[in-house]
Chains A and B, each alone.
Chain A
Amino acid sequence: MFELKPMLSALWRNKVSAMLIALQIALTLAIVSNAVTIIQERQEKIARPTGIDVENLIAVTFMPVPADYDMAGAVAADLDLMRSMPGVVDASVTNQAPISGSGSASGYFFEPNQEVGDITANYYQTDPHFINTLGLKLTAGRNFREDEMDILGPHQNYNADVAIITQQFADQAFPGESALGKYLYGGRDDHPTQIIGIVERHIGAWPGWSLAGNVVFYPVMAEGNHKRYLVRTEPGQRDEIFKQLEDKLAERDPQRVIHLETTENHMKETYSSDNLMIKVLTLVVSLLTFIVALGIVGLTIFWINQRAKQIGIRRALGASRRNISRYFLLENSIIAITGLVLGGTAAMLINGLIASNFSQPLLSLPMLITCALVLLLVSLLAALVPALRAANISPAMATRSV
């Protein structure tokens, strides 16, 4: 019943308009599949588990005005104040705010006095409250003790005795074995830092970093010209605590400039370019798909109007309405599949160029096939209404002289 061969020869005789639509579909697939791959990669990046209680965290930064400020005393008093506030789960001092795009990193060795073969990790200088404050999950070992806490003066070198690391960093540093009890070293350094605990995961300060998730925590507070706290609130209390915090801290000590930011906001800012990219590409994908659908609707209507008499003849010769609509849907499918095959090849070539020149993700075959199937469905839906309209052309059209 399918008129594939005569349909192909009829299409071949009208190849210009058919090829134009096929090329439009090809171009759309090439762009859409690459755009969707980038969208998916960005969405996966944003959706990666952070390992921390993002929704209930507040980062507080302050800078004292006096030059001879008692930083250690101020920190101790602030932490006491914040931990005593109703609705606050815990608070910690830290050198960096998570997912803020700003932090510190270092290369780590696993034998003393090494120069090559290090693995880089983002590091926190914090206190024994950090696990509870961030909402991390300790999976092995123990937390820092208060007596392990160091306070560093300005320009003082720090040689940590103990550290807690993330599971991801542990797996990279000591593949196939437990990292607990083992040692980290700085470059050309023989001071061992023993790993006393492992937390399940934490993405660190830079989610877009290729090594995001490699994180080391030290029990130390370095005195500097500014200080940062992390405050975790009870669920639903964050915004209220946020309002109170600045006033309370300023009230306790007005000689400083205080800035507060939620970790959720940090995350939004950090991912703003990714979110923008997702929005722009989604718009491009939607517009292209809409335009290709319009093109197919237009071409199908044009062909149907052009072939109204021919449809009437077919109906007179015994074609049912279903035969006619199926004819146009099949014809449209042939054009779409031709376009999709061309577009699939183009998509792979374009992806090769993008991936190698702009560090973008590789287009997978399942993704390409999914995009192709979606476009095929769109093209069939676009052709459906005109095809059903064609089926309503009267067989009496065959005897009309137009």
Chain B
Amino acid sequence: MRLNEARRIFKEIREIDERISVRPHAWRDHPERRFTALELVRLIRGRGVLRDNKYPSAQPRSFLWACMDDNLRKAEVALVFEQDKSGDLIVIIHAYREVKE
């Protein structure tokens, strides 16, 4: 992703900050990662870097939000932009972090 593209998407995330939706898969299907739904939302609203989602199994047109959690562990949150009748919204589809406890 080029810098201009990343900036545009980052701006988009900040503008539709209030309209976030979370897929249960992101926190429910991998309990070993110890995510909670609201923690994922907190991560998206915090600091991070936006990257292309280049995983082979990635959903098309999804992005990775790379950030640090409260415990300074690297976390990656996959998100897509969707639209409904009220406008744009961010959907958190997947999340990953390594927990060594």
Task: Tell me whether A and B are bound partners.
Answer: no
